[in-house]
Structure 1
């Protein structure tokens, strides 16, 4: 019989052989082979896509806004005077998305205007308010140092003259800190008695379209361009500052006469479309500014995905029609219809808090979807943040 020592040596040898055999069956490899196997087994690293920092900033900002703050950011209102501190306080106290400068806001020099707009950006440099102005040239000129012609002087010249005039005008606005020009009249009329006749860029769809596109091209990169007054003020002689003009226009007439110039401006890259207080009774009994139908038509037919904004809603009150005497309700209907932004040159009696509260309550009660408010607020955050100093 083998000794105990011999037995243990035999057991150890058998165990070692078993381990080697098991390793061979399992495909164990040499260190070099193991390295090659590991390299084959590890999937190649896929780069993680990096998001645009501006998009991330906007998403974070939106996520940290209350409902009321989102609603307030949809308003562009007016404060009188040229005091930079007062204008800054007005924007920041209400959390407005924009401010419109009227004649009473224009100081004697471009430098003074630049100081006013700079003050409005001081509270939140990463998110400046939109500063809008009606600078068409001609009859509607806010800046006394803008010597460029408007529609009446441009429509008899080649479209290149329109582009040059709007390019020069846009530079004046940019230097003054104005970011949105309500300057492109896309309306069409050959009727000299029409309220809008002196301001149109063309008296027929073709000539208007060429100059509307040229105006947008001229402003590109300097200010955001606005097409007005959708769906077209040229169908009526009446003045929408005092009444709600109504025309027996159906979709076919609109498509042939009024749509081409707006389409040309959209295709040229206009960022804003302003909705007029106009009724085309063959399409909708509501003024376009309060009409979901007209907002859908602009998106579906023209493919417009930019900012829609009302003409001054106070104009509806000024008609003295009873259905438009509640400023808050007008704002609610305007947002519910699809306007991204509500423009109001409010009267001294109009409390901005009441306007903001009216829309906020309408969202809370389900009259306006929260998802719509989020989408509109985000769209405006993107535009405003793009105006912030880089870096």
Structure 2
């Protein structure tokens, strides 16, 4: 089986351009067709990525569709074990935590290079590399958030350019690394990780961080709609705020808007309850997803924060992981994130059962299939762009994964 190709800086630039085409983000308009084509009414040339996605999604079962919208953590540094979990369920990808890091970036790259079974559709790899107290790659000596708050925005751009180059050297595609939260409250859980104590200051540095990461990795803004609105820790509670949407728009929205306008392709929703906006945490709230899409104009991939945090909050309404998953996908998130332990059953998670339950929710209308297909376009489009391939979609059956019995689709040019 061929190794996944490392994503180069040029590859990330190409990937970002492809995502613009897939998601419909604003970009420079394509050149007009030549006069002769206009004269005879020739159809516009087909976008090979759009055709690939349309055909691939049409060939997927409901279970394959919802599974392709799940990202997990698999403990350890054995790439074969991590890949076996991905392949067994057809998952979108993995997040690397501290226990997945075997050493320097070069050694991490050796691991990530073995995680994809299909070169034409590599798995998504992600990491939390904020710098400072949240860093998985210990080589990261670039300025931390508390240093960047006191420095000009150019320093944030420089720090995140270096940081993202390190992440790219590790063969990781996505950095869950740009904290767009804002608070002046030094007792707040999130304060030490923020890039500014005022909306304007945070916005300047968030946008600079996105610019710094461009060309190396795919940036993620977190934790929407703003962890700084409450001092509490969402890892063990459901932080609550009584801000109105108008008050939010003038404060906590500002850094997110700046990061989106700077080109961030992912936003992470937090388990944060703004009770005057929605009765649900943002990660489960159609209201907040609509605000993100329609008011902030975000057209990229929306990923949840670790879904297990909802269970750890102790709130009875969020005790059931399957119910949480159905709500999160129904709300409009594109990608559900699970930082699973070695034995997922200890936290009540069985991936096969969860995937079946999500598919059943699509069948009975609790989750809109058109929304699932739109999420697939965004997530599979990101994976397809990372491959650098533009060949046609070909269903070559189980042989594409050798001994694995699970039906599988792959590129005709990939060789299986």
Taking structure 1 as the reference length, the TM-score comes to: 0.87
* 2:289 pairs with 1:280: no
The equivalent residue for 1:264 is 258
Q: Does the 8 Å contact 1:125/1:389 carry over to 2?
A: no
1:207-218 aligned at under 5 Å gives the runs: 207-218=201-212
- List per-residue Cα deviations over 1:138-188 (Å, max 9, x = no partner): 010110111112211111111111001111111111121111111010000
1:1-391 aligned at under 5 Å gives the runs: 45-121=40-116, 123-347=117-341, 348=343, 349=345, 350-390=349-389
In 2: Cα distance, 1:48 partner to 1:244 partner: 52
Displacement after TM superposition at 1:54 (Å): 2.0
Moved over 6 A (4+): none
Q: Does the 8 Å contact 1:87/1:119 carry over to 2?
A: no
Taking structure 2 as the reference length, the TM-score comes to: 0.81
Displacement after TM superposition at 1:383 (Å): 0.6
Gaps spanning 5+ residues in structure 2: where? 1-37, 391-416
In 2: Cα distance, 1:181 partner to 1:243 partner: 25
Displacement after TM superposition at 1:224 (Å): 1.0
Number of aligned positions between the proteins: 348
Structure of higher CA gyration radius: 1
In 1: Cα distance, 2:246 partner to 2:368 partner: 32
* SS of match in other structure, 1:89: helix
Question: In proportion to residue count, which structure has more helix?
Answer: 1
Q: Does the 8 Å contact 2:148/2:156 carry over to 1?
A: yes
User: In structure 2, do the counterparts of structure 1 residues 337 and 48 end up closer, same or farther at CA, with 3 Å as the change threshold?
Assistant: closer
Q: Does the 8 Å contact 1:163/1:215 carry over to 2?
A: yes
Of the structure 1 ranges 328-337 and 144-153, higher mean CA displacement relative to structure 2 is found in: 144-153
User: In structure 2, do the counterparts of structure 1 residues 52 and 249 end up closer, same or farther at CA, with 3 Å as the change threshold?
Assistant: same
Displacement after TM superposition at 1:256 (Å): 1.4
Displacement after TM superposition at 1:130 (Å): 0.9
The CA RMSD over aligned residues, in Å, is 1.4
The equivalent residue for 1:27 is none
* SS of match in other structure, 1:136: strand
* SS of match in other structure, 2:337: strand
Q: Does the 8 Å contact 1:335/1:368 carry over to 2?
A: yes
Gaps spanning 5+ residues in structure 1: where? 1-42
In 1: Cα distance, 2:40 partner to 2:286 partner: 49
